[in-house]
Amino acid sequence: MPVPRTPAAAIAVTLLALGLPALAAPAAAAVTIAAHAPAPVSRVAMAPATVSVTGEGSAVGDPDIALVGAGVEVTAKTTQAALDAQSKAAAALLKAVRAQGVADKDVRTENVSLTPVYDYDDGESTLKGYQASQTFSIKVRKVAATGALLKAVTDATGNAGRINSVVFDLDDRRPLQARARKAAHDDARAKAEEYAQLSGHRLGRLVSLSEGGTGYVVPMPPVAADAPAGGAGAVPLAPGEIKATASVAAVYELD
């Protein structure tokens, strides 16, 4: 009984009879099957909901140093006389500072100047003399001793003495600033948790965190430029407190 031939088989026999290579039928079948395969379905992931908040924090501490700006200033007829008087007054100032227990490393010359002094009358200037001055930056590591040091300086320098500034500060600001940053971070997270609860979500992972800025406030008691020589006891001062501030911006996911 003859075996029925498919159209593809009949074509292959005919080609062989003519001495031609037969076509590969399976490839055509594969193309047909691939054409009827369903296309894959692409799914776009939804971005998670987020909440953006800002946080602010601060921390306070007691100052542990005082930075004193002090110096001497004298006027004389000649430059040499002015420089000699300034040198003598400056040496007395440094001796008094060292006697108060201030180390040499905590005293630094900030400025030395020598300038002419004129009298002005009816638009005309007349040379009066020369003014010589020297200013120092003094770090006092015992805050309670600052008033006594000011009095010692003015007692030693007389009318040539000058107290230009007193600033209370921390020798190392970093621990106080770190406390302010932590307070700002905690404030931001607390706000984010509150918004998550209000919107019916749970607070998820932190997406981003950036610092908005930091601040630092130091007390600066007013001090007259020409502190009086002598007087009764140490100069009374109020150190106050140091305040550090920080702010952050945070973004959290909402689950």
65: helix, coil or strand? strand
- 188, with CB counted inside 10 A (0-12, 13-18, 19+), is buried
82 neighbors 113 (Cβ within 8 angstroms) = no
239 neighbors 143 (Cβ within 8 angstroms) = yes
Structure token pair of residue 2: 């003859």
Q: What is the value of pTM for the model shown?
A: 0.70
With a cut of 90, say whether residue 183 has pLDDT above it: yes
When computed from its CA atoms, the radius of gyration of the chain, rounded to whole angstroms, is 43
Query: How would DSSP label each residue in 78-110?
Result: SHHHHHHHHHHHHHHHHHHHHHTT--GGGEEEE
pLDDT tens-digit readout, 57-113:
999 999 999 999 999 999 999 999 999 999 999 999 999 999 999 999 999 999 999
Nearest to 102 by CA among 66, 78, 135: 66
DSSP state of 232: S
164 neighbors 138 (Cβ within 8 angstroms) = no
Structure token pair of residue 27: 């490839």
Q: Please name every residue paired with 58 in a beta bridge, in sequence order, or none if there are none.
A: 245
Q: Residue 131 and residue 128: Cα distance in Å, rounded?
A: 10
pLDDT tens-digit readout, 218-234:
876 655 444 444 443 67
236 neighbors 147 (Cβ within 8 angstroms) = yes
Percent of the chain with pLDDT over 70: 77
Query: How would DSSP label each residue in 145-161?
Result: GHHHHHHHHHHHHGGGE
